[in-house]
Amino acid sequence: MNAPACFWHRREDLMELEDEDLSSEMLKRQQRAVDFWQKHWHKAIPLKLKRLAPDHERFLWAVSIVQSRSFNLNMRMGAFIQDANVLAPYADMLNHSPDANCFLHWRFKDRMLEVMIKAGHAIKKGDEMTIDYMSAVNSTLMQRYGFSSPTNPWEHINFSGPAKIHLDSFLSVFNIAGLHDELYHNVALTSGESTFVDGGVVAAARTLPTWSDGDLPAIPSVERKSAQALQEECRKMAESFSTTIQQDEEILDSDEPMRKTREIAIKYRLHRKLLLQKIIDSLEIYQDRILF
């Protein structure tokens, strides 16, 4: 089981995230669950009910189970359609994928929860069945489900300006679309072949929308300065961590016994650093092979 917000008992494990906003939010959620238990379960309830959650740690465990293993579904119950949290044994073992091949469907006529294959997806014998928990950044996945992903297409880095850069993306070098303040990745590149095209063609294609508005196209020297400025900001972000990518990988690869929550936290901060390094490397390639 992963470790969502309510199950993080050790503050030192939360600090391993090295994300002040995320750790603060998770502590608030944990405290809210404890306060609820103290108000509604600690006193003035029958003993047979109190046995279900005799202490706040047991209650936190129960909340974490529901939070990390339930599904949000729109269910029709009689004449009403309502949002419901559903606990479905075995279905809760399906792993998350942003490109999931299955989805859950509530069949009203006989009150059955179905796992259905998405149109356009073929699942062969031995293939893993996956569902999409939600389209969200790693911090949101960590709060709800207790995991992060190094290949999350919704993950991004916010910079000091209004711009943000998403995973696997930097301009047309990596098949990027969208405006400068909201770049996104069009298609996952799975082949090992080179995906680069002539830099002049790329530059011309990118200047056409600017010219159509009556403005001058981007000047390569200015664009290079922008790329270098973003690189420097990424380096400063990476240096703000207490450990390096290599050190985190060594910790995770070591045979030393480790609490599950600490392992999850280290993976989370490692995934953030890997994204920063990917952007730094992408900017380097962009300057060397695309700009002219």
Please, which pLDDT band fits residue 236 given cuts at 50, 70 and 90?
A: very high
Please, which pLDDT band fits residue 163 given cuts at 50, 70 and 90?
A: low
Mean pLDDT of 244-252: 95
- What's the pLDDT score for residue 270? 95
Angle at the Cα of 289 (from 287 to 292), degrees rounded to 5? 70
Nearest alpha carbon to residue 49 among 62, 30, 32: 62
Burial of 51 (0-12, 13-18, 19+ CB in 10 A): exposed
Claim: this prediction has a pTM higher than 0.85: no
Torsion of CA 244, 248, 250, 252, to 10 degrees: 180
For residue 182, is pLDDT > 50?
no
Higher-confidence residue: 288 or 64?
64
Higher-confidence residue: 121 or 204?
121
Burial of 34 (0-12, 13-18, 19+ CB in 10 A): middle
- Can 5-145 and 156-290 be said to share one CATH topology? no
Output Rg (C-alpha) for the chain, integer angstroms.
Answer: 23
Backbone torsions φ then ψ of 169, nearest 5 degrees: -140, 135
Long-range contacts: 172-181, Cβ < 8 Å, 24+? 172/202, 172/205, 172/206, 172/290, 173/202, 173/282, 173/285, 173/286, 173/289, 173/290, 174/282
Distance CA 133, CA 39 (A): 32
Query: 153 to each of 2, 134, 174, how far by Cα in Å?
Result: 21, 12, 13
The string of pLDDT tens digits covering residues 74-98 is: 777 777 788 888 888 888 889 998 8
**What residue spans define the domains of the chain?**
5-145, 156-290
The string of pLDDT tens digits covering residues 31-64 is: 998 888 888 876 667 766 777 788 888 888 888 8
Mean pLDDT of 106-119: 84
The string of pLDDT tens digits covering residues 185-213 is: 444 443 444 444 444 444 555 454 444 54
Locate tokens 């002219």: which residue? 292
Residues 6+ apart with CB under 8 A from 10: 259, 261, 262
Distance CA 69, CA 88 (A): 8
Burial of 255 (0-12, 13-18, 19+ CB in 10 A): exposed
In terms of CATH architecture, what is 5-145? Alpha-Beta Complex (3.90)
Please, what CATH class does the domain formed by 156-290 belong to?
alpha beta
